[in-house]
Amino acid sequence: DTLWDLAIAEVENRENPDDDGKHVEIWEKSVLFMGNKNGGKTTIILRCLERDEIPKPTLALEYTFGRRARRHNTPKDIAHFWELGGGTSLLELIRIPITSNNIRSFAVVLVLDLSKPNELWTTMEKLLQVTRNHVKKILTKLEKTNPEVATEIKQRMRNNLQRDHPDYELVDPFPIPLVIIGSKYDIFHEFDSEMRKIISKTLRFVSHYYGASLVFTSKSEALLLKARVLINHLAFGYDKSKSVSVDHSKPLFIPAGLDSLSQIGPPPASDSDIGKMRANTPLELWKKVFEKTFPPKSFCDLQDTKDPAQDLQYAEYEVDVMRAQKNQ
């Protein structure tokens, strides 16, 4: 048999399953991880896939996948994990993993380094803005070519909040499922309690506003497990966790839709300060209050990008020898 014959037989088998016509659909999901440079994205992915490897710095956009069987003797579901390296310096690469073919089964995990509050808002804003604009473009296209899918995605955006939730009209959900992870909680935990409170409240507001889940994590196994629960829900459809932790003196864990603006409270600033700030949206107001305490540092993610051709993890003897010859 040629390769083509085998492929045709394989497709026929899939379309006409022998086992009493029980056709098990294989679940395929994609998750894009992005966030601060050296913020711990690779570590979280490796833990989710239960791989004991030492994380290497991510170059540009990297891909890996995981497979899990839902029950014994069933085909394994597949989850595609994409990771955007370089912080906010390679935003245009977001277009590659998110396409109109997989938008229905796509989710985003934003990893923010809690130990660098001055970079936090800028990183979050840039990454979410570019992703949102790209998803909106895809949705606009889908409205013409496949309106059912576009409508389904828009409905799903609103599903995290029940219609009777008091904040239903006040939030602006992200167009695809979003999880925000605050990493390096162990360092953050040493911060002054007032600083911790401002960062925690702000992240709670942002997550709630975008209809996202929020979890704080560090290298500790117990905290990584909590992040894994949220990611496994996105990647493999595992059950959502119902537990909630909103105490600012402990690591936060708030699944989407389980927080409220009344619980979060107003932005942490005096009324007179808030009166002086000109803001068109609640999000803008929170940004101004946050940046008053943590002025954004102008940082460039590109500065310390080394030449990937010199990186040992990509060494290939034959190629490198020819390259050396060419350079010579």
Each residue's pLDDT tens digit, 257-301: 788 888 888 887 777 777 777 777 888 888 988 888 888 876 555
Distance CA 38, CA 99 (A): 27
- pLDDT given for residue 21 in this prediction: 44
**C-alpha dist (Å) from residue 8 to 2, 18, 22, 27, 94:** 10, 16, 20, 22, 34
Averaged pLDDT of the chain = 81
Please indicate whether residue 131 or residue 38 has the higher confidence score (pLDDT).
131
- Is residue 71 situated within a structural domain? yes
Could you give the number of structural domains in the chain?
1
pLDDT at 25: 56
Would you call 93 exposed, middle or buried from its count of C-beta atoms within 10 A (0-12, 13-18, 19+)?
middle
Write the CB contacts of 290 (distance below 8 Å, at least 6 apart in sequence). 120, 121, 198, 199, 202, 267
When mean pLDDT is compared across 82-96, 115-129, 190-204, the lowest value belongs to: 82-96
For residue 110, being part of any structural domain is answered with yes
12 belongs to a structural domain: no
CATH of the domain at 108: 3.40.50.300
Edge-to-edge order in the sheet of strand 178-183: 61-69, 76-84, 28-35, 106-113, 178-183, 213-216, 253-254
Q: Rounded to the nearest 5°, which phi and psi values hold at 171?
A: -105, 170
Pairing of strands 178-183, 213-216: parallel
Task: Establish if 9 belongs to a structural domain.
Answer: no
pLDDT of 162 > 60? The answer is yes
The whole-number average pLDDT for the span 211-215 is 88
CA 175, CA 100: separation in Å to the nearest integer?
13
pLDDT at 301: 53
* SS percent in the chain: helix, strand, coil, step 5: 45, 15, 40
Please give the average per-residue pLDDT across 309-313, as a whole number: 73
Alpha-carbon distance 195 to 118, whole Å?
A: 12
Tell me the mean pLDDT in the region 39-58.
Answer: 80
**Parent domain of 76:** 26-327
The answer to whether 257 and 212 are in contact (CB under 8 A) is no
Whether residue 13 is contained in a domain is answered as no
Higher local confidence (pLDDT), 26 or 162: 162
**Class of residue 53 by CB neighbours under 10 A (exposed 0-12, middle 13-18, buried 19+):** exposed
Q: Is residue 152 in some structural domain?
A: yes
| pLDDT of 305 higher than 60 | no
Kindly state whether residue 211 falls inside one of the protein's structural domains.
Answer: yes
> Do 189 and 249 touch, CB atoms closer than 8 A?
no
- The model's pTM is 0.80
Q: Can you tell me the mean pLDDT for 16-44?
A: 73
What are the distances in angstroms from CA 155 to CA 43, 161, 178, 196? 33, 11, 15, 35
Residue 1 lies in a domain: no
pLDDT of residue 23: 47
